[in-house]
Amino acid sequence: MKRAIVAGATGVTGAALMEHLVGSGRWNVVGLSRRKPELPGEFQHIAADLLDAEDCRAKLGSLTDVSHVFYSAYVEKSDPGELAEVNLRMLRNLVETVTNAAPSLEHVHLVEGTKWYGSHLGPFKTPAKESDPRPLSEPFFYYAQQDWLEAAQRDRQWTWSAVRPHTISGFSLGSPMNLTTVIAVYASICKELRLPLRHPGTPTNYHILYQAVDAGLLARAIEWMATSEQCQNQAYNVTNGDLFRWESLWPRIATFFGLEAGPPAHFSLQEFMADKEPVWERIVKKHKLQPHRFEELAAWKFGDFVFSSEWDVISDCGKARRAGFCETLDSEEMFLRLFSRFRQENIIP
């Protein structure tokens, strides 16, 4: 049994990783997050403030037998410099605390993303490869974190790895970057209001090639990287391995929710949802759903970001396949399966 710390244990990536590691029976798991994950199985939960080095040492300094750190924590900041500084500080506080406390630390894994390649800025080189040069010269938190991790690892016995997924989709609530909850809640509100399910993105966004990754598949890839010798001190792209266009997927989503797929109409989900809390409360009462607060369910800002992209988003996953991770999933089927789970768990009607 190895002992792992999962930082960001309630996010879309961290929740799937917790579920996978705890369920595997191969790991003794410590989850770091503000609230305890709602997860079956045995694990330890610690609410440590990663921005506070002293709090990290006080709450994590006794974990002397940690072998692996999986880092998926994130704090949103609008200023790029502050975003880089704050997220680097959290990683540094955690890794330095564990390094000093656990002499048998073997590996630190960092969750990044395709923003590494500038996918959020405009058209970029596709398919993106791990060897591509960095497109950004200004401070960026992925670069700051990996540069620090590489420097910290020198002359240490532990190694590092990093994964670069895109549009991580899984069963979690309140995550700032989970598109499945955005679509599921939007569709449920459209049904209550007897509106067609209209794609809210730009006309170009409706037709571009896009990619996603199932959080469960990502969790399995992360464990593989952290425990495979050939992956030491390497970064890997990981997606479901396929591509899709919203124009093909959107009608299937509408059918799942029993809705007509109306013509695309570019609008802001954040603005559309600004006054919909009473509608959601009505839905919860009518269908006896779990009483989650409306603002906890979905990140509409993230939905607007995804549906405003007007360029292909494609990662080359050949490096991971050549190294031994060959699992793939059908992205369209993934979305429908996740919607079904939200329904089974009584989150949506």
- The sign one gets for the Cα dihedral 64, 67, 72, 78 is positive
- Asked if pLDDT for residue 174 goes beyond 70, the answer is no
Dihedral angle at the C-alpha atoms of 17, 21, 22, 23, nearest 10 degrees? 100
* 7 strand-pairing partners: 32, 71
Range list of H helices, the chain: 12-24, 53-60, 80-101, 141-153, 179-192, 215-227, 246-256, 269-272, 277-287, 294-297, 300-308, 318-323, 331-344
* 110 strand-pairing partners: 71, 162
Q: Please say if 276 is a catalytic residue.
A: no
Q: Biggest alpha carbon distance in the chain? A: 62
pLDDT at 182: 95
Name all domains of the chain by residue range, CATH numbers in brackets.
2-167+213-237 (3.40.50.720), 175-211+243-344 (3.40.50.720)
Q: Please say if 74 is a catalytic residue.
A: no
Q: Span 159-181, mean pLDDT? A: 89
CB 266 within 8 A of CB 179: no
Cα-to-chain-centroid distance, residue 307? 17
278-297 pLDDT, tens digit per residue, is 999 999 999 999 998 898 88
18-28 pLDDT, tens digit per residue, is 999 999 999 99
pLDDT at 33: 95
The DSSP element (H or E) to which 236 belongs, if any, is strand 234-237
- Asked if pLDDT for residue 155 goes beyond 90, the answer is no
**Tokens 């989709």, residue located:** 169
pTM of the model: 0.95
220-230 pLDDT, tens digit per residue, is 999 999 999 99
Taking the C-alpha atoms of residue 189 and residue 284, their distance in angstroms, rounded to an integer, is: 11
296-318 pLDDT, tens digit per residue, is 889 999 999 999 999 999 999 99
67-119 pLDDT, tens digit per residue, is 999 999 999 998 999 999 999 999 999 999 999 999 999 999 999 999 999 99
112-145 pLDDT, tens digit per residue, is 999 999 999 999 999 999 999 999 877 899 999 9
Residue-by-residue DSSP string for 168-230: EE-S-SS-TT-HHHHHHHHHHHHHHTT------S-TTTTTS-B--EEHHHHHHHHHHHHH-GG
Between the alpha carbon of residue 317 and those of residues 179, 210, 259, the distances in Å are: 21, 14, 35
Taking the C-alpha atoms of residue 69 and residue 16, their distance in angstroms, rounded to an integer, is: 15
pLDDT at 172: 80
Mapped onto helix, strand or coil, the DSSP state of residue 244 is: strand
Catalytic option among 71, 74, 117, 142: 142
* Mean pLDDT value across the chain: 96
Taking the C-alpha atoms of residue 343 and residue 287, their distance in angstroms, rounded to an integer, is: 11
pLDDT at 340: 97
pLDDT at 55: 97
The DSSP element (H or E) to which 109 belongs, if any, is strand 107-111
pLDDT tier at 212 (50, 70, 90 boundaries)?
very high
Catalytic option among 36, 59, 115, 301: 115
